[in-house]
């Protein structure tokens, strides 16, 4: 199949954009040799070197030569209102450069959003396809909260956690990006066809493989590196002990990106992967607030610490608390008895009782002391409701 013209009609060694589109078909995602070859010679010259050598430069790229036609790919994508963006374009998400030799040659993009803009403030929300209601609820809550805070939800368009996260973001008019392992013209999985169409209408579909490409296991794994690289941080909501989400998580860690994992019942096989990640360094995140705290620049997000909502008793110093505890509830007691139970010096107890009386936490009854009910506690502002 190495036949056909060595100089196909589409060939133009000066068109870097076109040459990169060709490379996106010739080499599998994450092919570091291809990346290095293109980086060394430029995409167009690299193509010519491959053609001139009759494929001897690399037979594994050459096997696809005769089936490569980037002008056709561009036409196909344009029919969907899609486009091909490459490094240097304004829409190129700069975070992808962290992938170094595993950078994609470009991105096939569909949808009205600028992927660079959309991913600037973004969280990857990923997890099991066979997710539980618990996991899907959790994913939806996180995506909703992220949308409310102006953060984009990036995921893989799969069943389960991915779909729950995309849908929740769409439901509140939030921004969502699906990164696919197949061409952006293919609806995979088929059951998410309507969802992927919706994302293409208002959000962004992204892939590094050209139109028509099938999703293979290899491409799923390499797709996961894009999800991790495109976002400010990754959250695994539910995942089996071995799963694609684990793979995405490892890419995030490898890139030095914040990684969160949601806890769940230890009895749930779909939380086992999350617990594994927690043991391996992921941060425990229970809601959107904690996710944003994980990925937002310091100072931007603030999770309310429920500990900052004291009751009257919490405001007491330890010795005041001890005296309060030493006060009888029913039969009034003398000061000496209170001091003995508290194990504190009588003069100090006298002073503390006066303070407690002012707070209605102690009351005098015929020269003896009783516990008081206390002034009403300050209204607790509490933890933000989930």
Residue ranges in contact with a copy of itself by CB under 8 A: 1, 26-28, 31, 58-64, 67, 134, 138, 216-218, 241-242, 262-267, 271-272, 274-275, 278-279, 283-284, 286-287, 290, 306-307, 318, 321-322, 325-326, 336-337, 339-340, 342-348, 383, 386
**What would you report as the CA-atom Rg of the chain, rounded to the nearest whole angstrom?**
30
Least gap, CB of 316 to a copy of itself (angstroms): 11
Burial pattern 278-297, b for ≥16 Cβ within 10 A else e, equals beeebbebebbbbbbbbbbe
Tokens of 328: 């009888």
| Smaller CB separation from a copy of itself, 151 or 324 | 324
Q: CB nearer to a copy of itself: give 54 or 59.
A: 59
Q: Where are the alpha helices (DSSP H) in 16-69?
A: 16-26, 32-41, 43-52, 59-62
Instruction: Reduce the DSSP state of residue 10 to 3 states and report it.
Output: coil
| Minimum distance of a copy of itself from residue 277's CB (angstroms) | 9
Nearer to a copy of itself, 82 or 273 (CB): 273
From 81, 141, 90, 78, select the one nearest 115 (Cα to Cα).
90
Question: Which 8-state DSSP code applies to residue 172?
Answer: T
Query: Rounded distance, CA 319 to CA 178, Å?
Result: 58
Residue (35 or 62) nearer to a copy of itself, CB: 62
Nearer to a copy of itself, 195 or 262 (CB): 262
289 within 8 A of 330, measured Cβ to Cβ: no
Would you say 113 or 139 has its CB closer to a copy of itself?
Answer: 139
Min CB(119)–a copy of itself separation in Å = 26
Q: Which is nearer to a copy of itself, 173 or 305 (CB)?
A: 305
| Distance in Å, CB of 273 to a copy of itself, minimum | 10
| Min separation Cβ 173 and a copy of itself, Å | 25
Q: Which residues face 122 on adjacent strands?
A: 152
Neighbours of 205 (CB within 10 A): 25
For residue 309, give the nearest of 372, 382, 245, 241 by alpha carbon. Answer: 382
Least separation in angstroms between residue 286's CB and a copy of itself is 4
Q: Which is nearer to a copy of itself, 61 or 113 (CB)?
A: 61
- CA dist 232 and 215 (Å) reads 25
96 vs 278, beta carbon nearer a copy of itself: 278
Q: What is the DSSP letter of 235?
A: E
Nearest CA to 212 among 30, 103, 77? Answer: 77
Provide, rounded to whole angstroms, the least separation between the CB of residue 177 and a copy of itself: 25
List, in sequence order, every residue forming a beta bridge with 363; answer none if it has no partner.
Answer: 370
Helix (H) or strand (E) holding 153: strand 152-155
Q: How far is the CB of 326 from a copy of itself (least distance, A)?
A: 7
| Shortest Å distance, C-beta 336 to a copy of itself | 4
Per the CB < 8 A criterion, the answer to whether 34 and 60 are in contact is no
């Amino acid at each position: 199949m190495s036949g056909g013209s060595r100089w196909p009609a589409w060939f133009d060694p000066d068109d870097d954009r076109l040459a990169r589109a060709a490379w996106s078909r010739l080499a599998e995602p994450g092919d570091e040799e291809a990346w290095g070859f293109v980086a060394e010679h430029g995409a167009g010259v690299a193509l010519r070197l491959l053609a001139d050598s009759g494929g001897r430069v690399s037979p594994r790229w050459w096997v696809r030569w005769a089936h490569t036609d980037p002008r056709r790919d561009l036409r196909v994508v344009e029919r969907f209102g899609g486009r091909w963006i490459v490094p240097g374009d304004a829409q190129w998400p700069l975070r992808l450069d962290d992938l170094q030799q595993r950078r994609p040659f470009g991105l096939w993009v569909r949808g009205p959003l600028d992927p660079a803009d959309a991913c600037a403030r973004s969280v990857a929300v990923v997890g099991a396809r066979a997710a539980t209601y618990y996991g899907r609820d959790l994913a939806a809550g996180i995506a909703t909260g992220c949308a409310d805070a102006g953060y984009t939800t990036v995921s893989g368009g799969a069943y389960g956690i991915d779909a729950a996260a995309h849908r929740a973001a769409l439901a509140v008019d939030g921004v969502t990006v699906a990164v696919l392992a197949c061409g952006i013209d293919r609806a995979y999985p088929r059951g998410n066809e309507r969802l992927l169409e919706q994302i293409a209408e208002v959000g962004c579909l992204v892939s590094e493989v050209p139109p028509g490409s099938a999703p293979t296991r290899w491409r799923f794994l390499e797709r996961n590196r894009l999800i991790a690289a495109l976002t400010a941080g990754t959250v695994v909501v539910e995942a089996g002990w071995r799963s694609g989400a684990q793979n995405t998580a490892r890419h995030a860690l490898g890139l030095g990106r914040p990684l969160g994992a949601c806890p769940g019942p230890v009895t749930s096989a779909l939380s086992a992967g999350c617990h594994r990640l927690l043991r391996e360094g992921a941060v425990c995140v229970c809601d959107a607030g904690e996710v944003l705290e994980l990925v937002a620049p310091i100072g931007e997000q603030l999770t309310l610490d429920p500990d900052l909502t004291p009751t009257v008793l919490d405001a007491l110093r330890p010795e005041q608390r001890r005296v309060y505890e030493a006060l009888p509830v029913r039969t009034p007691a003398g000061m000496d008895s209170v001091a003995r139970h508290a194990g504190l010096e009588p003069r100090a107890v006298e002073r503390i009782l006066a303070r407690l009386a002012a707070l209605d936490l102690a009351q005098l009854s015929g020269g003896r002391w009783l516990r008081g009910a206390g002034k009403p506690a300050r209204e607790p502002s509490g933890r933000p409701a989930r």
